[in-house]
Amino acid sequence: MKAVVYDRYGGPDRLRLSVIDMPEPAKGEIRVKVLACAVNLSDWEYLTGSPAWVRTVGGLFKPKVPVLGSDIVGVVDKLGEGVSGFEIGQRVMGDYVMTRGGFADYACVPADETVIVPDSLSDDVAACLPQAGGIAVAGTDGLSAGDRLLINGAGGGSGTMAMQLAQAAGVHVTAVDNAGKVEWLTRLRADETIDYTKVNFTETGKKWDRILDMVATRGPRQISRALAEGGTYLALGGGVPTLLSIVFGGWLLSRNKSIKMLLVPSGQDLTRRVAEYATQGRIVPHVEAVLPFSSVPDALARTGKGKVLGKIVIKPGLD
């Protein structure tokens, strides 16, 4: 089968389109014929091996898994030992960030992280939902009308879906991203936009009830200045020193403010919830492009540089 593979950490030049053996499902796994797989920032992190904590999961010196791609939509092709509740030919989806393998014709995925795709969702839309949609749902849970939300990194898949959920709840949304996305975010009806290359939101004097930070680069003292009393800061990713300062320094500085990591409860329940929101029209992923295997290196490079408007989806058979 065809797959985009790599065997060393580095940039997009490490990737190559190759023919590899068909995978066989282990106990508790399902093999799927891949229909679509969205590109996530986590793919870029597993490709580069950075931040350093990625290597504790992906392999210390070299990648354990040669094929990236975690948000997979596919047709069940074969059931591993002990798998029940699924049938050959069903269209399924899931966030397989720990096992990956989606940039290939076939992938073996954990059955207990897999859900059936609602008929009303296209392959492309469904592929954008599990990881990015899950982050959006978890990051906006509990917001109420009149709250003020700042999303740092608002122009990606998670950010745009978080905007939709917050807007529907009557929340005032400040969208922070690079200059290439500010005008687009304004068209998406962000109440306020900030170009982070020109303005540090922690130095504006404004305060927010919640800050959802896709890639943390600031310590808790800076963040605290931008949080309203009783407010919550949620960091999704970032470098090890910054994240450690948030985990430990955030606890020390918390008092009437909460500064912590966003722990997304990924799995079947969250994926079902996100899919339901999509069928209801509460979240609509912005798909910038649907591309073939040969475009994976460029798609990952643009994702890593924060240049993608929403999501890119990779589909087998387009080359």
> Are residues 66 and 140 both part of a single domain?
no
**274 part of a folded domain:** no
**268 part of a folded domain:** no
The CATH number of the domain where 6 resides is what? Answer: 3.90.180.10
**272 part of a folded domain:** no
Mean pLDDT of 130-153: 97
Q: What is the pTM of this model?
A: 0.93
Which of the pair, 242 or 75, is modelled with greater confidence?
A: 75
Task: Write out the residue range of the structural domain in which residue 54 sits.
Answer: 2-128+285-314
Instruction: Quick: pLDDT tens for 167-199.
Output: 999 999 999 999 999 999 999 999 999 999 999
Total domains in the chain come to 2
Question: Is a pLDDT exceeding 90 seen at residue 219?
Answer: no
Question: Is a pLDDT exceeding 80 seen at residue 254?
Answer: no
> Are residues 308 and 197 both part of a single domain?
no
Question: Is a pLDDT exceeding 80 seen at residue 255?
Answer: no
> Are residues 101 and 69 both part of a single domain?
yes
Question: Is a pLDDT exceeding 90 seen at residue 288?
Answer: yes
Question: Is a pLDDT exceeding 70 seen at residue 275?
Answer: yes
How sure is the predictor about 299, in pLDDT bands with cuts at 50, 70 and 90? Answer: very high
> Are residues 212 and 109 both part of a single domain?
no
Mean pLDDT over each residue of the chain, to the nearest integer: 94
Instruction: Quick: pLDDT tens for 156-168.
Output: 999 999 999 999 9
Instruction: Quick: pLDDT tens for 24-63.
Output: 999 999 999 999 999 999 999 999 999 888 999 999 999 9
The CATH number of the domain where 184 resides is what? Answer: 3.40.50.720
**278 part of a folded domain:** no
**271 part of a folded domain:** no
Question: Is a pLDDT exceeding 70 seen at residue 253?
Answer: no
Give me the pLDDT at residue 115, please: 98
Question: Is a pLDDT exceeding 70 seen at residue 249?
Answer: no
Mean pLDDT of 250-273: 83
> Are residues 122 and 236 both part of a single domain?
no
Give me the pLDDT at residue 162, please: 98
Give me the pLDDT at residue 239, please: 79
> Are residues 124 and 137 both part of a single domain?
no
Percent of the chain with pLDDT strictly greater than 90:
87
How far apart are the C-alpha atoms of 91 and 6, rounded to whole Å? 28
> Are residues 9 and 102 both part of a single domain?
yes
Percent of the chain with pLDDT strictly greater than 70:
97
